Structure formats: C-alpha cells, structure tokens
Amino acid sequence: DLIESAWNAVRTTVVAATEDPGSQLRLRARDALLSLGGRMAGDERLQGKVDGWLEDAATYVVTTYRDEITSLITDTVAGWDADHTSRKIETYVGRDLQFIRINGTVVGALAGLLIHTVSELL
C-alpha cells in the first residue's frame, strides 16, 4: 500500500507538471531538448549515433511487434467507412487529387504503350 501510494503521488505530480506550461519539469525538458537539437545540428558524430540508435529501435519494434502492428493497422483501416474516408481525403488533398488522377492515367497509358512497343519490337 505504501509503495502504491507513493507511486500514485509521484505520477500525479509528474502529470500535473507536464500539463503546466510554466513548471520547472517542462521548462527544463524543453531546454534539454533545445540543447540536444543544437548539439546535433553541429556534431556529425552525434548525428550518426542518434541515427544508429533510432534505426536499432525501429528495427527492434518492427521485428518484435510485427503482428501487433499489422493487426492494429488492419483493424483500423477495416473500421473505416469507404465513402467517408474518400470524402475526407478529397477534402484534405483538394484539387491536387484531380491532377494526381490525371497524371496516373497518363503515366499508366505511356507505360503500357512503351511495354507494348518493346514487346512488338522483340
């Protein structure tokens, strides 16, 4: 009970500090991140180390949780309403979607024509 009570008190304090824009925890975390960003901008060796760590972490997560990630994405997409999702994409992409469709059609037609031409010549 004592450990649970202490943990709840610490957790409550940390959550409250992260939600308060003026808290020392939040200000120090911000300063630390800005300092790290500044160091990374000028230190290629540090950039390489961080890239390696991130690559290792991403590889671990993907190889370890592959099935869970696949299931999450599959279940999420399966729950989408096709009409609603299409309207949403068209709203966000806007007029560019028409250009994407036209470009896709033109490129597909040219690729088909090239393949047909090459197969006829051979």
Q: How confident is the model at residue 69 (pLDDT cuts 50, 70, 90)?
A: very high
3-state secondary structure 43-72: CHHHHHHHHHHHHHHHHHHHHHHHHHHHHH
In this prediction, residue 59 has a pLDDT band, given cuts at 50, 70 and 90, of very high
pLDDT at residue 116 is higher than 90: yes
Could you say which DSSP state residue 85 is in?
H
Residue 23, classified by CB atoms within 10 Å of its CB into exposed (0-12), middle (13-18) or buried (19+), is middle
Query: pLDDT tens digits, residue range 19-48?
Result: 999 999 999 999 999 999 999 999 999 999
Per-residue pLDDT at 52 exceeds 80 = yes
pTM of the entire structure? 0.46
